Structure 1
Amino acid sequence: MLQARSMTAAAIIEVETPLQEDVTALLAEAEAVAARLYPAAPRRPVTADSLAGSGIHLLVARIDGAALGLCAVIERGGGEVELKRLIVAARARGRGVGTALVRGAEAQARRLGAGRIVLEVGVGNVEARALYRRAGFAPRGPFPPYRALPVSLFLERAVAA
């Protein structure tokens, strides 16, 4: 369990099953944001079922029991994990939930023995790009299964010991 203090409450980050109603609602919110930001671009939908697979660790951020954010940490082998589909509910933005999820992903990567976190983020997702920049992620090239697209940025960061 990881806690992140904010001015209003502590976000508790834990690995949970994606097959929960509040998780499904957050994933639907993430899809709606992606559709708004990239209406004509190809998207890779992420569902609760797709996150229930082996090697996928879903981190859920809760404040007072309410699921207010999530991200997936996906084992990739070769000493790296992928951070995917980080979303913070609109009503919880600005409360440190995104930062807590990135820290939780790093802690999960350490538990898995990974030395690097990689991710893909859309160029139009200004808030996510700022979060990743503050967290120390740096540009890199595409990684499988992704390919270079004008709407995608690829980032990485070493996992602190």
Structure 2
Amino acid sequence: MRKPEISIAPEDPRRPEVQRLIALSDAYLEALYPADSNHLADAAALAAPGTVFLVARSNSEALGSIAFRVIGPEHAEMKRMFVRAEARGHGLGRRLLEALEQAARSRQIARVSLEAGIRQPEAIGLYRAAGYRECPPFGDYAPDPLSLFMTKRL
């Protein structure tokens, strides 16, 4: 049996099907963390200038997403890395991360930083394997015992 073809491309986060994917991501994170430790970007923020929002699809079904927003000269913040539960464990997160880094490089982004919750060991493991290293809080973030801050030079 052939593996399904996966496409990863920029999309408008305000599309209804993509909104449902974002809602799944919200529910997942809200189950893990209190509201003051969730740093969720809504669809309007994800559609703002300086932001790239990518969606992974198989047979037109949205399976995952990832985004970045420019936060400084040659510096972007990763947002909204999410893979639906039924699509996990097949390397889709790694493919989304690679697509994000490629999109960032094409826009002359030299560094990507992220905030991840400490209750997501699989995501943290993926980021570490991809070369992300711990760093102090950046941008408007304050220290949070439930947050891990990471960065990578591209």
Q: TM-score range by the shorter chain?
A: over 0.9
Match of residue 29 from structure 1: 24
Match of residue 4 from structure 1: none
Match of residue 70 from structure 1: 65
Coordinate RMSD, CA, aligned? 1.4
How far off its partner does 1:77 sit?
Answer: 2.3
Q: Which one-letter code corresponds to 1:69 in the other structure?
A: G
Q: Which one-letter code corresponds to 2:20 in the other structure?
A: A
Q: Which one-letter code corresponds to 2:85 in the other structure?
A: A
Match of residue 120 from structure 2: 125
How many angstroms apart in 2 are the aligned matches of 1:143 and 1:102? 20
Q: 1:127-149: CA deviations, max 9, x gaps? A: 21111111111111100111111
Q: Which one-letter code corresponds to 1:23 in the other structure?
A: V
SS in 2 for 1:10: coil
Matched, 1:10 2:31: no
Matched, 1:90 2:85: yes
Structure 2: 5+ residue stretches without partners:
none
How many angstroms apart in 1 are the aligned matches of 2:70 and 2:45? 14
Q: Which one-letter code corresponds to 2:19 in the other structure?
A: T
How many angstroms apart in 2 are the aligned matches of 1:73 and 1:41? 21
How many angstroms apart in 1 are the aligned matches of 2:132 and 2:111? 10
How many angstroms apart in 1 are the aligned matches of 2:91 and 2:37? 30
How many angstroms apart in 1 are the aligned matches of 2:149 and 2:81? 14
Matched, 1:102 2:97: yes
Is 2:37–2:147's contact at 8 Å kept on the other side of the alignment? Answer: no
Task: State the TM-score, normalized to the length of structure 2.
Answer: 0.93
Q: Return the match for 1:139 from 134, 141, 146.
A: 134
Task: State the TM-score, normalized to the length of structure 1.
Answer: 0.89
Structure 1: 5+ residue stretches without partners:
1-6
Matched, 1:81 2:76: yes
Q: Per the alignment, do residues 105 and 27 of structure 1 end up closer, same or farther by CA in structure 2, a change over 3 Å counting?
A: same
